[in-house]
């Protein structure tokens, strides 16, 4: 029988699926309804090693390449997309950047706490007037003899509700464009740093999304991640890897929606439902191949920016398309308040927006296809 995804023969995938089925799936409906991930669940996942995936063992991390991390996020997302996205943000765009660009002292200070789940990592780039356009960044930093002072705000920031550790991007001078942007590690609680609003979202409920205020936040000099003026390099590097992770989360939702659809077709079979199922399987298969390709290229040390954009674009669309068709196939049962088909559709609809909108991925691809020889990447 054709299966919607790879069997759990890989040890990392098998481990993730077992934990997801035991710890996460039974709580998925309550997480969505309450818009909260239980703290004890996050502690349990950290204890099991999920918060240290891909991080150096010297800081308590657990070995995992991009392909293995992708498998973990897919399995978690098939159980609860909110949990998977919380984990993806913590790892891909906070912890891993510290492991990549941090000094030994920064790694020693922050990575053990992140691995143990004592701090949940966040990534703060988006502003009220600057989403995909980093040149419009307005959060400012000023140098001082003993450090830096941040002033400004960020919006739609995941994982920052409890302000564990936030990777924040600010500009010294907006007139300098990308060359004025630097990256800073801001722990919470911290004087002048506050969460001013928590957003209620259509989907990914439980994955907390907030607005942050930096009111003259004075940071020591060792809060700078990387060098001054290299913040955009740090951000784009983190986002490239993050897109593979988010594509994996979208793939998990797409797979869960396909599995629900197939169960509904088996219960109430007819030809049009079989056609819808076949189309969903084709979309799911294409998305999986692209996510795997991006992960494989990253693990091989090859350029993967375009592959990450394609994977994120196609997996996001597949999640929305399959989840929508799943509600149609489920009929009246699919629109009941407690129906998982409806939750999957709401979760899926967020993926074309986060980690760079679909339009941004298309712009990245369009520019590359004009400027580069596509045949070289086929």
Task: List all residues 6 or more positions away from 308 whose beta carbon is below 8 Å from its beta carbon.
Answer: 240, 241, 243, 244, 247, 294, 298
Domains defined along the chain, listed by start: 11-115 (1.10.540.10), 121-229 (2.40.110.10), 232-377 (1.20.140.10)
Mean pLDDT of the 215-228 span: 96
The chain-wide mean pLDDT, for the chain, equals 92
With beta carbons less than 8 A apart as the criterion, state whether 323 and 253 touch.
yes
Strands 121-124 and 165-171: parallel
pLDDT confidence band for 131 (50 / 70 / 90): low
Expressed in percent and rounded to 5, the helix, strand and coil fractions of the chain are 60, 15, 25
With beta carbons less than 8 A apart as the criterion, state whether 160 and 124 touch.
yes
Q: What is the pLDDT of residue 135?
A: 63
Burial classification of residue 57, based on how many CB atoms lie within 10 Å of its CB (0-12 exposed, 13-18 middle, 19 or more buried): exposed
Task: List all residues 6 or more positions away from 289 whose beta carbon is below 8 Å from its beta carbon.
Answer: none
Strands 193-198 and 209-220: antiparallel
Mean pLDDT of the 188-217 span: 93
Whether residue 347 has pLDDT greater than 80: yes
Mean pLDDT of the 218-234 span: 96
Alpha carbons within 13 angstroms on the beta-carbon side of residue 35 total: 10
Mean pLDDT of the 203-221 span: 95
Catalytic entry in 142, 355, 362, 371 = 355
Q: What are phi and psi of 80, to 5 degrees?
A: -155, 115
Q: What are phi and psi of 104, to 5 degrees?
A: -55, -40
With beta carbons less than 8 A apart as the criterion, state whether 20 and 48 touch.
no
- CA terminus-to-terminus distance, the chain: 31
Q: What is the pLDDT of residue 330?
A: 86
pLDDT tens digits, 328-340? 998 777 676 556 8
Share of the chain above pLDDT 70, in %: 93
Whether residue 189 has pLDDT greater than 90: no
pLDDT confidence band for 1 (50 / 70 / 90): very low
- Within 10 A of 79 (CB to CB), how many other CB atoms are there? 24
Mean pLDDT of the 197-216 span: 94
Annotation says 307 is catalytic? no
Q: What is the pLDDT of residue 214?
A: 96
Bridge partners of residue 140, in order along the sequence: 151, 171
What tokens were used for 29?
């409906």
C-alpha distance from residue 316 to each of 9, 75, 105, 156 (Å): 26, 16, 38, 19
Q: What is the pLDDT of residue 378?
A: 43
Q: What are phi and psi of 72, to 5 degrees?
A: -60, -45
Q: In whole angstroms, what is the distance from residue 257 CA to residue 316 CA?
A: 13
Q: What is the pLDDT of residue 376?
A: 43
With beta carbons less than 8 A apart as the criterion, state whether 245 and 91 touch.
yes
pLDDT tens digits, 13-48? 999 999 999 999 999 999 999 999 999 999 999 999
């Amino acid at each position: 029988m054709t299966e919607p995804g790879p069997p759990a023969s890989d040890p990392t995938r098998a481990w993730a699926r077992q934990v997801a089925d035991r710890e996460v799936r039974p709580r998925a409906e309550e997480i969505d309804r309450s818009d909260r991930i239980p703290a004890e669940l996050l502690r349990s996942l950290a204890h099991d090693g999920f918060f240290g995936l891909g991080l150096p063992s010297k800081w308590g991390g657990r070995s995992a390449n991009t392909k293995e991390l992708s498998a973990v996020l897919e399995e978690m997302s098939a159980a609860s997309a909110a949990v998977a996205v919380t984990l993806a943000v913590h790892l891909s765009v906070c912890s891993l950047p510290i492991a990549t660009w941090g000094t030994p002292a920064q790694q020693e200070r922050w990575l053990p706490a992140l691995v143990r789940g004592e701090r949940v990592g966040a990534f703060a780039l988006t502003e009220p007037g600057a989403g995909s356009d980093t040149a419009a960044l307005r959060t400012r930093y000023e140098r001082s003899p003993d450090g830096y002072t941040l002033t400004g705000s960020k919006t739609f920031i995941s994982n920052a509700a409890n302000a564990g550790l936030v990777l924040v991007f600010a500009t010294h001078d907006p007139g300098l464009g990308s060359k004025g942007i630097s990256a800073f590690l801001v722990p919470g609680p911290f004087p002048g740093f506050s969460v001013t609003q928590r957003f209620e979202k259509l989907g990914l409920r439980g994955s907390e999304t907030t607005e942050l205020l930096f009111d003259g936040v004075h940071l020591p000099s060792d809060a700078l991640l990387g060098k001054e003026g290299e913040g955009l390099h740090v951000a784009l590097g983190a986002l490239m890897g993050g897109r593979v992770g988010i594509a994996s989360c979208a793939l998990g939702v797409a797979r869960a929606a396909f599995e629900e659809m197939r169960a509904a077709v088996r219960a109430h079979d007819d030809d049009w439902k079989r056609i819808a199922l076949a189309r969903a399987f084709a979309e799911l298969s294409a998305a999986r191949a692209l996510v795997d390709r991006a992960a494989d290229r990253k693990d091989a040390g090859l350029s993967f920016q375009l592959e990450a954009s394609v994977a994120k674009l196609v997996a996001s669309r597949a999640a929305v398309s399959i989840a929508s068709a799943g509600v149609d196939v489920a009929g009246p049962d699919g629109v009941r308040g407690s129906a998982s088909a409806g939750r999957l559709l709401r979760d899926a609809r967020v993926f074309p927006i986060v980690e760079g909108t679909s339009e941004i991925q298309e712009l990245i691809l369009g520019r590359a296809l004009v400027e580069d020889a596509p045949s070289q990447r086929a």
